[in-house]
């Protein structure tokens, strides 16, 4: 049995700079950036990681591709290929923070927490992490979807996603793509995460369908991030290039979001009774706004 790093609710390495009030300010988003997020449902190009931090995360990540890695029983979900097609590989896993110190400490990175708190408008509680990796040459798609369609067991909707590139991501290697303004749409049903990129189109109105003529490609340098709203429709195309497209995703909640199910919210964790605020060892409070002002 391996040590579960979820028992540590704070950084365990010196990978990220010390968390002091002087540091917080330099990570603050401008009023214009916050307005952009509110209008479009996303904000991209935020520097989150240094080259050294990326190198450490990539080293830890490499282990996960070996199906026999240490700590494999700790994942909430682990799919070496979420698509059914071996030529369209989408590695997707939830729970890396429990397995390795770098992915653990990433959650306490102030460069992520300060903007997250601003965009959520409150204290930041961890929901779960995700890895979305497309290998070179035969990387698969992430089908168009809204994140909250997977999260209706938690209410109210006050969630935020931070997508962090571990490689340079371009249109060619399958970067994230957004439908700007779709965060104002109603919740759409789940139509699948891998395989058929366009499956969502069967449930759209004519007007929604038309917005797919102009998605925005989010090309990022390694170490840069994009934040998006839980209803923003997003997806990404396949990777046929020589360059892998690997990403770490952090999903957070405004503190106070409640469980809306008596079943475990994630596989392998104790249930939180419906109506109770989400808290406990698997959902640490990452940033307490009441303490920092
Ligand atoms: O990595 C991708 O292409 C998609 C990621 C995603 O769906 C997400 O961050 O919610």
Q: Give the single-character DSSP code of 263.
A: S
Residue 21 has pLDDT above 70, yes or no: no
User: Is residue 249 lining ligand 1, measured as CB closer than 6 Å?
Assistant: yes
User: Is residue 161 lining ligand 1, measured as CB closer than 6 Å?
Assistant: yes
For 102-110, what is the mean pLDDT?
Answer: 97
User: Is residue 259 lining ligand 1, measured as CB closer than 6 Å?
Assistant: no
Distance 176 CA to ligand 1 centre (A): 7
What is the per-residue pLDDT across 149-182, written as a single tens digit (0 to 9) for each? Answer: 999 999 999 999 999 999 999 999 999 999 999 9
What is the per-residue pLDDT across 265-292, written as a single tens digit (0 to 9) for each? Answer: 999 999 999 999 999 999 999 999 887 6
Tell me the pLDDT band of 25, cut-offs 50, 70 and 90. Answer: confident
- According to the model, what pLDDT value does residue 51 have? 97
Q: How far is CA 293 from CA 28, 160, 219, 278, 286, in A?
A: 13, 20, 34, 22, 15
Q: What domains appear along the chain, each with residue ranges and CATH number?
A: 20-254 (2.60.120.620)
Q: Which two tokens mark 154? A: 């938690």
The answer to whether the beta carbons of residues 71 and 98 sit under 8 Å apart is yes
Residue 70 has pLDDT above 60, yes or no: yes
């Amino acid at each position: 049995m391996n040590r579960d790093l979820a028992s540590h609710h704070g950084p365990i390495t010196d990978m990220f700079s010390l968390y002091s009030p002087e540091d917080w300010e330099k990570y603050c988003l401008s009023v214009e950036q916050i307005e952009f997020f509110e209008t479009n449902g996303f904000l991209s190009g935020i520097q989150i990681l240094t080259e050294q931090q990326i190198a450490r995360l990539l080293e830890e990540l490499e282990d996960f591709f070996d199906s026999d890695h240490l700590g494999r029983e700790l994942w909430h979900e682990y799919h070496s290929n979420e698509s059914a097609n071996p030529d369209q590989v989408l590695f997707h896993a939830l729970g890396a923070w429990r397995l390795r110190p770098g992915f653990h400490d990433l959650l306490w990175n102030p460069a992520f927490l300060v903007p997250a708190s601003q965009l959520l408008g409150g204290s930041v509680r961890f929901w779960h992490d995700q890895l979305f990796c497309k290998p070179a040459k035969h990387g698969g798609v992430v089908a168009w979807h809204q994140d909250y369609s997977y999260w209706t067991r938690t209410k109210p909707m006050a969630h935020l996603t931070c997508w962090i590139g571990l490689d340079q991501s371009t249109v060619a290697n399958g970067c994230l793509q957004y439908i700007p303004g779709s965060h104002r749409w109603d919740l759409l049903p789940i139509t699948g995460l891998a395989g058929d990129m366009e499956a969502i189109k069967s449930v759209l109105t004519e007007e929604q369908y038309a917005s797919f003529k102009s998605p925005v490609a989010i090309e990022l340098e390694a170490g840069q991030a994009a934040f998006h709203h839980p209803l923003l429709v997003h997806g990404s195309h396949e990777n046929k290039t020589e360059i892998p497209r690997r990403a770490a995703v952090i999903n957070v909640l405004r503190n106070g979001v409640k469980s809306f199910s008596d079943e475990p919210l994630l596989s392998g964790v104790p249930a939180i009774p419906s109506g109770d605020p989400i808290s406990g060892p698997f959902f640490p409070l990452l940033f307490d706004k009441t303490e920092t002002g």
